[in-house]
Amino acid sequence: MFRRSLSLLPLLLLATPALAADKVDPKIKADFDKTDTNHDGFLTRAEVDARVARMDVGKAKMPAGKAKAIAGAWFNTADANHDGKVSPAEMQGLFRALASRYDTNHDGVISLDERAAARAAVLGGAGAGPVGR
């Protein structure tokens, strides 16, 4: 359940074509920098926990327990080399994997219809509609 909820987090960043493997997409880097509060070039578990805790869900704040679980699942998935921190490249790798999963027509872009389908899949079809930009 939490792994499925986790996949909602990067949907806003997925509407960009893939870049060369050695370059981090500027939108992903900007989001990374917002989370990297100590500016050391890596995300710690505490930084990810704090970022997810600040997220809104609709008109309300995400419940603390759910935020912690989602942040933990996101961090564990993103930390590909299991060194206890997430680099910009690891973050982009996770987002690319998610984008690949949701880009059903394989054109390199998540369309509004593909976003809506992804959201419906994550939410189990309940209350799912097109995701705004």
What is the mean predicted confidence (pLDDT) over 57-74? 85
pLDDT of residue 5: 40
For residue 85, the domain's CATH number is: 1.10.238.10
* 32 pLDDT more than 70: yes
Establish if 45 belongs to a structural domain. yes
Amino acid at 78: A
Identify the pLDDT of residue 50: 94
**For 77-130, how does the pLDDT look when each residue is reduced to its tens digit (9 = 90+)?**
999 999 999 999 999 999 888 888 889 998 888 899 998 888 787 666 444 444
Burial of 18 (0-12, 13-18, 19+ CB in 10 A): middle
- 18-41: average pLDDT: 85
Whole-model pTM: value is 0.67
Q: Domain range spanning residue 118?
A: 2-123
Q: What pLDDT, in 10s, does the model give residues 48-58?
A: 999 998 887 77
With beta carbons less than 8 A apart as the criterion, state whether 104 and 114 touch: yes
> Rounded to an integer, what is the distance from CA 25 to the centroid of its chain?
14
**Is residue 83 domain-resident?**
yes
Token pair listed for 55: 């997220």
